[in-house]
Amino acid sequence: MNALFMQIVHHIKELKAILLQQKENGVSIGFVPTMGALHEGHLSLVRKCKQSNDITVVSIYVNPAQFNNKNDLKSYPRDSERDCKLLSSEKCNIVFIPDDKEMYPVPDTREFNFGLMEQVMEGVHRTGHFNGVAKIVSKLFEAVEPDKAYFGQKDFQQLAIIRKLVKMNHYDIEIVACPIVREKNGLAMSSRNTLLTKEQRNAAPLIFKVIKEASNNLTSHHSVKSVKEYVRNTINSNKLLKLEYYEIVERNTLKPVSEISLKIPLTACIAVYAGNIRLIDNIDIN
Ligand code: PAF
């Protein structure tokens, strides 16, 4: 493969043919699935992928199946020309940009069951979201068959679901979790940040400030109930923000806890609305 040129591919058949030829030469394939509107967070995944794989494949596809809100799907930022320029400067090898017909030639009626993992947080507030994620990620994994796939820790629950999907389907793929990339003011990078007004953008860093403060002050003496109340009141005291949930869960099982134990790894997760824009973040507690 010519390392100087990035190939843009729209069809699974073509993608498979290119990758098969490479695999026959024994090269390793790294994969970064995205929905485009790339930012530094995505680019950090691409850089990490390039460090440990011979070929880096990035997909750009806004997957309708994972949106439970039509307006969110409609307003999701799209700019594949800009994305391709960014990927080309990162020396990405292949960009896969399919359309809906390519990814869903027939309706995908599969129902995944992730048990408790989808019965909390995003799973409760975005009905069907993880089923849609599992549909597209399984299709993409089967199209690319990578050795390693890279996901951001900002989507903490998605990462846990994808690890489970890999186990359930016996995919021979290593899932690599990459740290959240933040703006200087602490706001977690997200494609949705571009949709925020200037005022909302100024208010949004409060989200990370509050979860960081809450996690720094947590000891086994605190009740989770009082921490939740503190987070809710602080977020909602800013009239541009509205808390959807703040939950402290066991890091591996995603089981919500009602008491802080310093023995079990915990993660605090939050979802906040700034107008119609939904922002999520999380922080490890112990
Ligand atoms: O995290 C995302 O951008 C999406 O959920 C993913 C993994 C690309 C599937 O559409």
The residue segments making up the domain with residue 73 are 7-178
User: How many Å lie between the centroid of ligand 1 and the Cα of residue 217?
Assistant: 33
Sign of CA dihedral 203, 208, 211, 214: negative
Among 120, 147, 178, where does a domain finish?
Answer: 178
For residue 261, the domain's CATH number is 3.30.1300.10
Claim to verify: residue 165 and residue 220 sit in the same structural domain: no
Q: Which atom of ligand 1 is nearest to the CA of 35?
A: 3
State residue 16's pLDDT score.
98
Shortest-distance atom of ligand 1 to CA 59: 8
Q: Are residues 18 and 160 in the same domain?
A: yes
Are the beta carbons of 256 and 248 closer than 8 angstroms? yes
Residue 127 predicted with pLDDT over 90: yes
Q: How many CB atoms lie within 10 A of CB 92?
A: 24
Known catalytic residues are: 42
Question: The domain spanning residue 60 has which CATH number?
Answer: 3.40.50.620
Q: Could you count the other beta carbons within 10 Å of the beta carbon of residue 178? A: 19
Task: Quick: pLDDT tens for 230-269.
Answer: 999 999 999 999 999 999 999 999 999 988 877 899 999 9
CA–centroid distance, 261 to ligand 1, in Å, is 32
Each residue's pLDDT tens digit, 191-226: 999 999 999 999 999 999 999 999 887 765 678 998
End position of a domain, from candidates 130, 147, 178: 178
Q: Which of 156, 280, 161, 264 is nearest to 211 (CA)?
A: 280
Same domain flag for 281 and 200? yes
- 1 lies in some domain: no
Q: Are residues 144 and 26 in the same domain?
A: yes
Domains in the chain, number: 2
pTM of the model: 0.96
Amino acid at 85: K
Do 173 and 245 lie in one domain? The reply is no
Q: Give the pLDDT score at 260.
A: 84
* Residue 198 buriedness (CB in 10 A; 0-12 / 13-18 / 19+): exposed
Q: What is the pLDDT of residues 73-89, one digit of tens each?
A: 999 999 999 999 999 99
* Ligand 1 pocket at CB < 6 A: 33-35, 63, 66, 133, 136-137, 155, 158
Indicate whether 227 and 273 sit together in one domain: yes
33 CA closest ligand 1 atom index = 8
Residues 225 and 157 in one domain: no
User: Which H/E stretch holds residue 34?
Assistant: strand 29-34
Per-residue H/E/C for 223-254 = EHHHHHHHHHHHHHCCCCEEEEEEEEEECCCC
Residue 21: band (very low, low, confident or very high) from pLDDT cuts 50, 70, 90: very high
Q: Are 128 and 222 contained in the same domain? A: no
